[in-house]
Amino acid sequence: MAGDRAASTDPDALSWYEATARQRVVALADPGSFREVLPPTERRMSPHLPLFDLPRAFDDGIVVGRATLDGSPILIAAQEGRFMGGAFGEVHGAKLVGLLRAALELKPKAVLILFDTGGVRLQEANAGETAIAETMRAIVDVRAAGIPVVGLIGGRAGCYGGGGLIAGTCSRLAVSEGGRISVSGPEVIETNKGAEEFDSRDRALVWRTMGGKHRRLTGGADAFCADTVSAFRHAALDLIDQAPSFDLETLEAEQARLESRIARFGDCRDATDLWRRLGVNDPETVPAMDTDAFAATVARIREADHDAR
Amino acid sequence: MESLTFRHTTKKPLAGSLPNAITGVVASGNLEILLERVLPPDACEIAIETPIAGYGDVWEAVVADFVARAQPGGLRISINDGGARPDTVSLRLLQGARLMEA
């Protein structure tokens, strides 16, 4: 199948941030195990983009299929952040929803979603918004069936808009330093609230507010990995095993976790204030920490790990 | 959008037996190229969809150069262009042919 041949690259050396969706899938899964559903040769492209005189992609910016991970069957979806910002259109969303629904029958060990998205594709916004809602509902069904859904976030588009909402419904999330998770993106906040509220060109501000380290320290993400495909593979394997059961107890624990977070940190004006209150001794040094130093910091923070979500 | 199709006769089929391959991404200054081994061994067809109209002559020259160099007999090549420069197009075409030879 086309996706298998897109790249043969060493997972230890391949940067997650730089890789395409296809390269990530092929290098993440067991070698040669990926089988794509609706591959590019099927030409399931957006019916809407030609109306706007915009180019289409043969896979509508998402690669979906089945594979094995350490010998266990999984389903996997990867968004291509460079095609229209990885945004959800009608076909793109339907491929993800279809994959999740297939999980109910195929009963894989897990479903992996490799997020790389700015949210909904504005040219097909109604279909995209519907896809976001259907995806969240499908994830809930898959988790209720006892199958973990693990999100991996480290691409150049980050995980924004409806993608951020979907990420919030996953069993577990892994993120790298380059990854960002939020709903409203920096430019959206600046446009609505002004540059005094949030300067979208201040990259340090963007990363400490939405970036992987901040999400990991607050327990928004459950693993922080180096920017390689093999690091994400290891994180995915760990998180599949640690996925919480999906029941009332877990949801109540999540509600309690979020309530306590807003009570403890709701008045913080900057992420560094929040990190200090979390117990990080020297919060200004966090952005420059390498992966090992950051892991040591995370290990001292009580809120970073939890049984909720 | 502008659609262009070029048909060429090649001296030989492209080596290898891979049925299809894809390379590149539809992004600004980039393009994706889908190659499928579905034509007679001496035929090559290249179909292009581009949002940048009016560069048919440049596409024709880049494609003719690629066909002469790679002799991609048997391939139907489909391109979704994101506004790539001719040198990028040329490199992607050769990269695609190399993938099919593997």
User: How does pLDDT run across A55-71, given as a tens digit for each residue?
Assistant: 999 999 999 999 999 99
Instruction: Provide the pLDDT for residue A2.
Output: 45
CB count, 10 Å around CB of B43? 17
Contact A54, A123 (CB under 8 A): yes
Percent of chain A at pLDDT exceeding 70: 97
Residue numbers in A near B32 (CB within 8 A): 40, 57-58
Residue A58, chain B, CB below 8 Å: the answer is yes
Query: H/E element holding B7?
Result: strand B2-9
At A32, list the tokens: 């040669």
| Residue A55 to residue B21, Cβ atoms within 8 A | no
Task: Report how many Cβ contacts below 8 Å link chain A to chain B.
Answer: 58
Nearest to B22 among A6, A55, A83 (CB): A6
What residues in B contact A53, CB-CB < 8 Å?
1, 51
**Structural domains for chain B:** 2-101 (3.30.230)
Sheet containing A110-115: which strands, arranged edge to edge? A35-37, A62-69, A72-79, A110-115, A149-153, A172-176, A223-225
Report residue B87's pLDDT band, with 50, 70 and 90 as the boundaries: very high
pLDDT mean across residues, chain B: 97
- For A58, the closest of B51, B80, B99 (CB atoms) is B80
Report pLDDT for A7. 47
Nearest to A3 by CA among B19, B11, B90: B19
User: With 70 as the cut, is the pLDDT of residue A274 above it?
Assistant: yes
Indicate whether B77 pLDDT > 90: yes
* Contact status, residue A307 vs residue A250, Cβ threshold 8 Å: yes
User: What is the pLDDT averaged over residues A12-28?
Assistant: 95
A282, pLDDT greater than 70 = yes
What is the per-residue pLDDT for A156?
A: 94
CA distance B101 to A60: 26
Contact B25, B101 (CB under 8 A): no
Chain-chain contact of A2 with B21 (C-beta, under 8 angstroms): yes
- Interface check for B10 against chain A (CB to CB < 8 A): the answer is no
Q: Supply the mean pLDDT for chain A.
A: 94
Query: Which of A250-259, A300-309, B88-97 bottoms out in mean pLDDT, i.e. has the lowest?
Result: A300-309
Are the C-beta atoms of residues A3 and B21 closer than 8 Å to each other? no
Amino acid A309: pLDDT: 82
- Contact (CB<8Å) B26/A55: yes
* A2, A54, A55: residue with CB nearest B20: A2
pLDDT tier at A303 (50, 70, 90 boundaries)? confident
B102 touches chain A (CB under 8 A): yes
Q: Do A55 and B50 touch (CB under 8 A)?
A: yes
- In this prediction, residues B42-60 reach a mean pLDDT of 97
Q: How far apart are CA A212 and CA A153, in angstroms?
A: 8
Is A75:A111 a contact under the CB 8 Å cutoff? Answer: yes
Q: What is the pLDDT of residues A176-213, one digit of tens each?
A: 999 999 999 999 999 999 999 999 999 999 999 999 99
Which pLDDT does position A205 carry in this prediction? Answer: 95
Residue A5 has pLDDT above 50, yes or no: no
The answer to whether residues A229 and A8 touch, using CB atoms and an 8 Å cutoff, is no
User: How do residues A100-154 score in pLDDT, each as one tens digit?
Assistant: 999 999 999 999 999 999 999 999 999 999 999 999 999 999 999 999 999 999 9
What confidence tens digit (pLDDT) does each residue in A77-99 have? 999 999 999 999 999 999 999 99
Mark which residues 27-86 of B lie under 8 Å from A by CB: 27, 30, 32, 34, 36, 49-51, 78, 80-82
Q: In Å, how far is B1's CA from the nearest CA of chain A? A: 5
Contact A211, A17 (CB under 8 A): no
**Structure confidence at residue A307 (pLDDT):** 78
- pLDDT band at B17, cuts 50/70/90? very high
Smallest Cα distance from B34 to chain A, Å: 7
Give backbone dihedrals phi and psi of B56, rounded to 5 degrees, phi first: -55, -40
Alpha helix locations (H) across chain A?
A: 21-28, 90-106, 125-144, 162-168, 186-193, 203-210, 212-217, 229-242, 248-265, 271-278, 291-299
In the 8-state DSSP scheme, what is residue A85?
A: G
State the pairing for strand pair A110-115/A72-79: parallel
CATH code, A2-181+220-245: 3.90.226.10
Proportion of chain B above pLDDT 70, given as a percent: 100
| pLDDT over threshold 70, residue A3 | no
**Do residue B21 and residue A20 have CB atoms under 8 angstroms apart?**
no
Q: How far apart are CA A33 and CA A42, in angstroms?
A: 20
pLDDT of residue B18: 96
* Contacts with A98 (C-beta within 8 Å, 6 or more apart), sequence order: A37, A64
Helix (H) or strand (E) holding A78: strand A72-79
What is d(CA B73, CA B12) in angstroms, rounded to the nearest whole number?
Answer: 6
Q: What is the ipTM metric for this complex?
A: 0.95
- Which pLDDT does position A4 carry in this prediction? 44
Contact state of B34 with A80 under an 8 Å Cβ cutoff = no
Cβ atoms of residues A155 and A81 within 8 Å:
yes
In this prediction, residue A306 carries a pLDDT of 83
- Cβ–Cβ of B1/A82 closer than 8 Å? no
On whether the CB atoms of residues B90 and B24 are closer than 8 A, the answer is no
Return the residue of B nearest to A53 by Cα. B1
- Torsion, Cα B36 B41 B97 A50, to 10 degrees, reads -40
Q: Inform me whether the pLDDT recorded for A1 exceeds 70.
A: no
Is A5 an 8 Å CB contact of chain B? yes
Per-residue pLDDT at A11: 87
Q: A40 touching B, CB under 8 A?
A: yes
Asked if A111 and A100 count as a contact pair (C-beta separation under 8 A), the reply is yes
Q: Do A57 and B25 touch (CB under 8 A)?
A: yes
The CA distance from A244 to the nearest CA of chain B, in Å, is 36
* Residue A265 CA, distance from chain mean position: 24
Q: Which helix (H) or strand (E) holds B47?
A: strand B43-50
